């Protein structure tokens, strides 16, 4: 079995987000940005995954102006309320990070 590292390849249809280092390659009359070293590749739907990785790599030294959505959702689930009320017909629950967090809270309740 062989393992190959993620490699970014352009695709006009999109589909992937790459988090890693890049460099410019000279193509005569223009430049092309190409991957330079290892990278993390995320599906374009996995916004939480790639956002979390970007913040982790930036390592801000002070609080950023973004709440911890995971903590907010779990707090709401533990103390009542339906955070998914306005979303149920827009996104498939099995694709939603909020749904995953709510399952974690439910699993914590059943583990007690």
Please determine, for residue 1, whether its predicted confidence score (pLDDT) is greater than 80: no
Three-state secondary structure readout of 98-109? HHHHHHHHHHHH
pLDDT tier at 4, thresholds 50, 70, 90: low
Higher-confidence position of 104 and 66: 104
Quick check: 40 and 20 in contact, CB under 8 A? yes
SS3 content of the chain, % helix, strand, coil (to 5): 35, 20, 45
Distance CA 34, CA 8 (A): 8
pLDDT single digits (tens) 8-50: 666 667 677 778 888 899 888 888 888 888 888 787 777 878 8
Residue 83: band (very low, low, confident or very high) from pLDDT cuts 50, 70, 90: confident
Question: What is the residue extent of each domain of the chain?
Answer: 1-65, 67-112
> First vs last Cα of the chain: how many Å apart?
41
pTM (two decimals): 0.47
For residues 84-97, average pLDDT: 71
Distance CA 104, CA 54 (A): 24
Percent of the chain having pLDDT more than 70?
A: 79
Mean pLDDT over the full length of the chain: 78
99 or 90, higher pLDDT = 99
């Amino acid at each position: 079995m062989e393992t190959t590292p993620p490699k970014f390849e352009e695709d006009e249809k999109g589909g992937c987000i790459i988090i890693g280092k890049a460099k410019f390659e000279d193509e005569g009359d223009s430049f092309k940005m190409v991957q330079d070293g290892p990278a993390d590749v995320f599906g374009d739907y996995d916004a939480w995954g790639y956002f979390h990785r970007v913040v982790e790599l930036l390592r801000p030294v002070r609080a950023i102006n973004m709440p911890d959505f995971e903590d907010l959702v779990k707090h709401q689930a533990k103390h009542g309320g339906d955070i998914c009320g306005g979303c149920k017909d827009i996104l498939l629950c099995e694709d939603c990070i909020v749904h995953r967090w709510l399952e974690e809270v439910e699993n914590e309740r059943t583990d007690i």
